[in-house]
Structure 1
Amino acid sequence: MRLLLAVFLLALSTLSQAEIKTRSIPYQSPDGTRMIGYLAYDDAIKGPRPGVVVVHEWWGLNDYAKRRARDLAALGYSALAIDMYGEGKNTEHPKDAMAFMQAATQNSAAASARFQAGLELLKQQPQTNPDKLAAIGYCFGGGVVLDAARRGVPLAGVVSFHGALATDTPATPGSVKARILVEHGAKDSMVTAQNVSAFKAEMDKAGADYRFVSLEGAKHGFTNPDADRLSHGDHGGPDIGYNKAADESSWADMRAFLKKVFG
């Protein structure tokens, strides 16, 4: 009986000591811009584990993107929320967000290089298995990870949550190596029905392994609990909104997807 109690107390002590570790990591993009990544992992897990890049919404590398990195760490992954704007900058005003996004994407090669720099940083972490990598993105970040898949970046999978579907560089037959999961709000006014149809036709033509999920009643930004607050104010928009059911459903889809692609 005493032995069982001792084992129980030891296990309880181990669980209480385990926690999600986080740290900010400065790094540099090929264009010389100083970036700041946010790494999260569970220190109770020993050795390398699959790594997941998180790409932020058009708001920038804010607390929401960092929270998603911690959520992934709690699932057993090494997660890095990367910086696509530089200096970790972020905003809550759509005018500023639009300016940040346009500056980051005006040169597609530079934008691709910034994503790649973040991916390489994740691969370098001792908690990451560099042979098992995926990427998820939200809004602007959803478009970023889909473009990475279009370019044939060697990822096991990518997940887009209420992401941009249009692109200037469509996939070509055989170019997409990663499996793709798209979680889209059926009431998303920022992504048109034409965008959806064009995306599906593009993926079909490219022979991509993809799944497109349309979530009933969900607007753009449906995963972010701050979306309702950010949709109001003196700026008068944008048309976004949180949807708890869609948030939970899409996250469950992602969990199953990552488990499948990582084997």
Structure 2
Amino acid sequence: MRPLFMLLCLIAGLMTGSAMAQEGSLPTGADPESEPERITSWGPRVEGETFEYSTGGQTYQGYLARNVNDNRPRPAVLVVHEWWGLDSYARARADQLAALGFVALAVDMYGDGQVATHPDQAGEFSSQVMQDWPAARARFEAAMSQLRQHPAVADTGMAALGYCFGGSVIMNMALSGMPLEAVISFHGAPIQAASARGGFNGAVQIHNGGADSLVERGDLSAMARALEAQGADVDVITYPQALHGFTNPGAGALAEEFGLPLGYNAAADASSWQAALLLLDRTLNQ
């Protein structure tokens, strides 16, 4: 009988609340001016700022996003951009993470906040980074080191997300033993650039489009095996109809403008993002 009693109470409460809403009234004695302050709390207010760090005599301009309504230190997540550079898409992903309770740093892998406007330029920028892996690692380490000193960052582990070029960067960070709790790659190129390997006991998620013509399946399998050999817990998730760049709503426009085999896939984007958030929660929110 108890479940039925609770159900009846719930229905009665809903009917009462509905009647009050229709009448536009408040409970007896309530002050219309003070009531919202008493019964509500503030949701996230995300603010972003330029986050500079230096290494090798060069300055890098990242983008730090956090919820300024939360005064407690929170776990940090680094976001590595596509081959275009630290553009609005990478910043938007950092904002999303900040709204969900993380301190998010979208890193600048090219220096001085450079952003490519043509695929040829993007290819040049990204190749320079991947061909000099010690310098690439130093840039990422500089960002991590300075991020740890930020008062909004909790003294816990960090994670990293990467898109396209950024996915390749963070998979290689895991290969080289970077101290990260989780690494999550979205349509990342499985190029093994790390010149020195190190143990990695974190979790790795690799999200890849089944229709991605820019990623060789053999290379992807080889990357997964290499990460497992370093001690990583690897999960490769493939989305059958997804093209390269499937998480970026602007991929279709770029494909049309430059004739690239890119495409946004809303279902794959939503599914991969949910899986990523579950992993971040498991590894960073103890």
TM-score by length of 1: 0.91
2:64 corresponds to 1:39: yes
Alpha-carbon displacement from aligned partner over 1:64-123 (angstroms, at most 9, x marks no partner): 000000000011000000100011111231101001112222211001101111112221
Judged with a 3 Å threshold, the aligned counterparts in structure 2 of structure 1 residues 139 and 79 are, in CA distance, closer, same or farther, namely: same
Worse overlay, 103-112 or 2-11: 2-11
Q: Whose radius of gyration is greater, 1 or 2?
A: 2
SS at match of 1:70: helix
Correspondence for 1:256: 278
SS at match of 1:15: coil
Structure 1: distance between partners of 2:73 and 2:162:
23
2:231 corresponds to 1:210: no
Correspondence for 2:89: 64
Structure 2: distance between partners of 1:33 and 1:72:
28
Q: Percent identity?
A: 39
Alpha-carbon displacement from aligned partner over 1:4-50 (angstroms, at most 9, x marks no partner): 964543454x527x51011112221x211111010101112222100
Contact 1:187 1:220 in 2 (8 A): yes
Correspondence for 1:246: 268
**What amino acid is aligned across from residue 39 of structure 1 in structure 2?**
L
Contact 1:163 1:184 in 2 (8 A): yes
Correspondence for 1:175: 199
In structure 2, which of residues 46, 49, 55 is the aligned counterpart of residue 23 of structure 1?
49
In structure 1, which of residues 152, 158, 165 is the aligned counterpart of residue 177 of structure 2?
152
Q: How does 1:105-184 map to 2 (within 5 A)?
A: 105-169=130-194, 175-184=199-208
Structure 2: distance between partners of 1:53 and 1:4:
45
CA RMSD of the aligned region, Å?
1.9
**What amino acid is aligned across from residue 23 of structure 1 in structure 2?**
E
Structure 2: distance between partners of 1:69 and 1:103:
25
**What amino acid is aligned across from residue 44 of structure 1 in structure 2?**
N
Structure 2: distance between partners of 1:166 and 1:146:
9
Contact 2:77 2:160 in 1 (8 A): yes
Structure 1: distance between partners of 2:222 and 2:167:
16
Judged with a 3 Å threshold, the aligned counterparts in structure 2 of structure 1 residues 33 and 177 are, in CA distance, closer, same or farther, namely: same
SS at match of 1:60: coil
In structure 2, which of residues 10, 19, 37 is the aligned counterpart of residue 9 of structure 1?
37
Contact 2:201 2:231 in 1 (8 A): no
Judged with a 3 Å threshold, the aligned counterparts in structure 2 of structure 1 residues 194 and 15 are, in CA distance, closer, same or farther, namely: same
- Report deviation, 1:152: 1.3
Judged with a 3 Å threshold, the aligned counterparts in structure 2 of structure 1 residues 23 and 169 are, in CA distance, closer, same or farther, namely: closer
Structure 2: distance between partners of 1:118 and 1:124:
10
- Report deviation, 1:197: 2.0
SS at match of 2:256: coil
Structure 2: distance between partners of 1:92 and 1:4:
56
Contact 1:150 1:170 in 2 (8 A): no
Contact 1:171 1:206 in 2 (8 A): no
Provide structure 1 residue ranges, at least 5 long, that are not aligned to the other structure: none
Contact 1:57 1:141 in 2 (8 A): yes
Give the paired residue count. 257
Contact 1:171 1:203 in 2 (8 A): no
In structure 2, which of residues 259, 262, 276 is the aligned counterpart of residue 236 of structure 1?
259
Structure 2: distance between partners of 1:125 and 1:11:
33
In structure 2, which of residues 65, 70, 74 is the aligned counterpart of residue 49 of structure 1?
74
Judged with a 3 Å threshold, the aligned counterparts in structure 2 of structure 1 residues 32 and 130 are, in CA distance, closer, same or farther, namely: farther
**What amino acid is aligned across from residue 202 of structure 1 in structure 2?**
A
Judged with a 3 Å threshold, the aligned counterparts in structure 2 of structure 1 residues 11 and 127 are, in CA distance, closer, same or farther, namely: farther
Alpha-carbon displacement from aligned partner over 1:133-173 (angstroms, at most 9, x marks no partner): 1111100101111111111111111110111112033886x
**What amino acid is aligned across from residue 228 of structure 1 in structure 2?**
G
